Structure 1
């Protein structure tokens, strides 16, 4: 059972992402308990549910416990266990502090009594900074704009994703140093977010979208192979085998229209399509890649719409010891910086099979 209570019919007055993120308040048990109203998405090849759903739904739950003149300005999240899409999630909001200018909330997401995700977030009262302010902004780079009607996700024409994505070529893709490269994309929620959702719906939407391709930045700047169908008997593949099959069926022109596929991927797919043995390639393969933590700092939180194109730019300053760090900035089309995000993830390469030891 993917939900605790039978899901109601889809609300046609709301956008897809509002329906996806809808919560049910368990008031008869505790007014600070919530659960997912609809089943959550488990991306093919992933260890659990899409992380952005937990991020966004914990934010949605916390927003319901603060007064309307308070707005979230930061949230710090930890992915503890992989979420199971076949089991309802219970979200418990703890009202840590409610002050005159700031309010603090901690939210735990639980399945089968175990914490799978936890976050602490801070809310600030609107216009509490005073009349004179210290202000500056990291400017948005000059990039091509988004194209309406274009979507990079395979299968999105079937409406499986509540948001659209258009990826741009990697900046400095041929550079020798991964930290100098930047991965860029345009994203927006599908349809139109309802006026009833208020600014809270737009904030939850960008929280959901902020996890898109985030830790994957490390794989992209290192040109790691992500679509292997080889797997050990005791491990799950980090790749989407169904996507790989679709990619192998495409010609080069079709592949280049899939913006989530990089040039290094195209070259290897071409060789696989021609029947070449790529199992002994020098290109390292991802063995496991999962998010460990996720932080969002919200700027200008009431001055944007998540159903209009948002530009994101990601870069990674460090990777090592089986982990990697990625920074992300999110801008409106007119260059307003609306969020800065940080994520650390587990990034482990597929290790060579141990050589059999001679019997003594």
Structure 2
């Protein structure tokens, strides 16, 4: 099942491509060898957005399997931070081709160095069989919630918000984000700069614009989006965000993904609202573990996610050791 993000021009000469499609588009430069066209460096990040690399790697792998297969899982490791100014090369190894399953390993390189590796497994879909799932939690409907952009804009327009914080929000608003978010909890400025510790968060997510009906593209879009906010749940368990200002709360000095795994359970559309539930059972040794569940609006559990990452937290007022 190939992933094509190229949409024919409309009559007025413009294209229908969404931001997310341009972020996932790859150039095939040889058999099983692909090159990125666009990479996103989030504000304040050390390297290319991890979801950008995961999504593009899945695009590369998907483009080498027969159309009767669809991805059911992937397991990946981030080895080095990606440089957004240099294209990433994705080499696909055809590990196995079977009747029901096939496997691909994708190695991403920059300047001759391996920066990312991913193994994805594909299955020929089967008819409905007995199954079960965790129920979707009861949360406010997305239609009753403000978007992330609306929430940030309201703070920018609030004269009580400190100017330095307002300037950061303006820079965030200027970023060309490919996805839309709606947090299921309403947050005041105090909640953002001094959040109460909690080990779970949930938000609605979908891509901006409308995609075609190719399931493979929707899966790659969700692979891209699954890296958003997931690791931040670890910091949130300690009452920390990138905006933490209170001395009683630890500050984040570094966050970076180490590994990322996904399981695709059922078909879905990434251009429709889905609920992303993130939770963290454990952190320590400057690492944090997170799990995610992505539900369709009708309550179907469509995707499961797991990730461990570096999460370095330091107190704002550490006690000096006695000599």
Q: TM-score, normalised by structure 1?
A: 0.73
Query: In 2, Cα distance between the equivalents of 1:187 and 1:208?
Result: 12
Name which of 170, 177, 192 aligns with 2:210. Answer: 192
Structure 1 position 25 matched with structure 2 position 24: no
Structure 1 gaps of 5+ residues are: 1-8, 228-264, 269-277
Report the 3-state secondary structure (helix = DSSP H, G, I; strand = E; otherwise coil) of the residue aligned with 2:95. Answer: strand
Counterpart of 1:299 in structure 2 is 265
Distance 1:282 1:144, change over 3 A: closer
Distance 1:36 1:202, change over 3 A: same
Counterpart of 1:92 in structure 2 is 91
Return the offset for 1:355. Answer: 6.2
Query: In 1, Cα distance between the equivalents of 2:314 and 2:252?
Result: 6
Query: In 1, Cα distance between the equivalents of 2:211 and 2:97?
Result: 29
Structure 1 position 115 matched with structure 2 position 106: no
Counterpart of 1:56 in structure 2 is 55
Query: In 1, Cα distance between the equivalents of 2:14 and 2:115?
Result: 29
Return the offset for 1:221. Answer: 2.1
Structure 1 position 321 matched with structure 2 position 285: yes
Query: In 2, Cα distance between the equivalents of 1:354 and 1:221?
Result: 22
Query: In 1, Cα distance between the equivalents of 2:20 and 2:197?
Result: 37
Q: What does residue range 59-78 of structure 1 map to in structure 2 within 5 Å?
A: 59-78=58-77
Query: In 1, Cα distance between the equivalents of 2:138 and 2:321?
Result: 54
Return the offset for 1:282. Answer: 3.0
Return the offset for 1:188. Answer: 0.4
Return the offset for 1:354. Answer: 9.6
Return the offset for 1:105. Answer: 0.3
Query: In 2, Cα distance between the equivalents of 1:65 and 1:315?
Result: 34
Contact 1:97 1:103 in 2 (8 A): yes
Q: What does residue range 78-227 of structure 1 map to in structure 2 within 5 Å?
A: 78-127=77-126, 133-147=129-143, 150-153=146-149, 154=152, 158=174, 160-169=176-185, 178=198, 181-195=199-213, 198-227=214-243
Return the offset for 1:148. Answer: 8.3
Contact 1:324 1:344 in 2 (8 A): yes
Structure 1 position 341 matched with structure 2 position 289: no
Structure 2 gaps of 5+ residues are: 1-8, 153-169
Counterpart of 1:288 in structure 2 is 254
Contact 2:142 2:204 in 1 (8 A): yes
Query: In 2, Cα distance between the equivalents of 1:177 and 1:149?
Result: 22
Q: TM-score, normalised by structure 2?
A: 0.81
Contact 1:288 1:350 in 2 (8 A): no
CA deviation profile, 1:238-279 (whole Å, cap 9, x unmatched): xxxxxxxxxxxxxxxxxxxxxxxxxxx5xx4xxxxxxxxx6x
